[in-house]
Structure 1
């Protein structure tokens, strides 16, 4: 049943004041047969992360609360260690296939799989949001992306009906997917994931290596990697319940090698991650920090004092306040480094 003038403040991790003109909780797939789903709603809401909301959301907001984890194929437990590659430990287990409802909390899913000895999501622990939002953003962290584990995405295509999209049809890219480029076409209802198999741990990021060393772990298991990532994220990211935020606000920019060489000549400590022969990824947090914007604020909007990549709501900020301050961060980085930062979050309700 559609409700009217419902506050979305507690449904977005920035804790931004926002009211949905019309609000419909989607708890069963059968609801999609209602004629209201012949056209796209104004907003499809999951966990409320990775978005900046206007104070008034016109039209219909659909809150996806579809739950359930179905085991499509079960692998025997007990990982067998296989050969080491590039200094990392590998594991082999029979593959496990899961179908997960779009409304399931992502972090709870990661912990659920780790508790059962199913591996592949350990680097993605503590990412806020729901399973249905994960393919849209192609969420990733510390060298891993969810697209590596997705085998199918179940969707409702407005005006058409239920469909199942292959990974190729989803057109996954770095923090990108078909869903971002075709807004208003699909509502994600479930995601199929493949875990285990020949699984090589991803520990190449310096922060993970440093944390494993601090924990005196020389031969890490997937659970150890998850622990290291958990510790790293908790040391850098505020709890949105107490300090509104949406995690990483900007993408790490990918620049031509010529740009990287120019900056490296000026800043010897510039971190980088090679993408290919001609492009290099730079850490946006480092750029924002060196531009003097770490911990900066304007009114109630600012960047987090412990992680420059995170925008925060100190209490009472509006969505417009967050956007205005993010533009200031972009301008400052552009002026200092001649590098353009792109927002990772979605702007809900903005025109143009």
Structure 2
């Protein structure tokens, strides 16, 4: 193992003997991003009903319902996230009177068919045609299309965070240069028009002159490469570098050494996924450590945990990092903040239409 746990809050992920290095699965598109696609494809631009609640036992709610081919579909948005539900139309109770006049089921009967936990009596049907655009916009504001990952270089004799942040780019190994090329392309920051992840693109070089960037599966990824960030000879802690990598949820550590890294030296509260990569043969050995509270995520890491330098291996590696960050959003460090954001967005929409 390339890491030592000690009294750290991190734990190495176990490898799976049945796992394989594979390309991107549909699992990448999870939760709210799937809901965006689902709402567009199944609701938006089609006749459907939208129900809102400003105050309920589950907080503010926005529920979209459509009858599609005899099946009712619902998208339930709450502070906990978005849930997709379906139920056969025949399973929803309707009185003879409502059937005769094609009134559809009562909201209480419809919601109870979806789930007994939906507070139907708190819901109000809103027929404002502009609401659909607002609901779509609300969901889009929560979609993450860009990621920033830290990259640190750890060489012989270095076992702590402070030591590896002190490395200079002119001293890196050819193997590490090749790994940076594996991650993405080196771009000039001056005048950069893409996702900049907090880096200075004005030309004053406050965060260095270059960075590593890639577009992958419709996402933009900027890598905060520590050795490309400014080096301060008078600062043993290299706080400017730590300011960027310390605020990244995911940090990659490239190990040009056989000495195990001390996980307890990681002090940032923001770092939740540490991906340790060590050159081995024509590929890389991979160890992933996650902070306590981060739920399980896929893809699983195979045993032995070795991947190549081909496109499929790169997909596997980036897939692991992206899903690792997305899983971190459910940890106690981030989940309450995300819930508060959803609550504000839902309250804004509900307050506007339930005056």
TM bracket, shorter-chain basis: under 0.3
**Higher Rg of the two aligned structures:** 2
More strand as a share of residues? 1
Q: Which has the higher contact order (CA 8 A, sep 6+)?
A: 2
TM-score by length of 1: 0.22
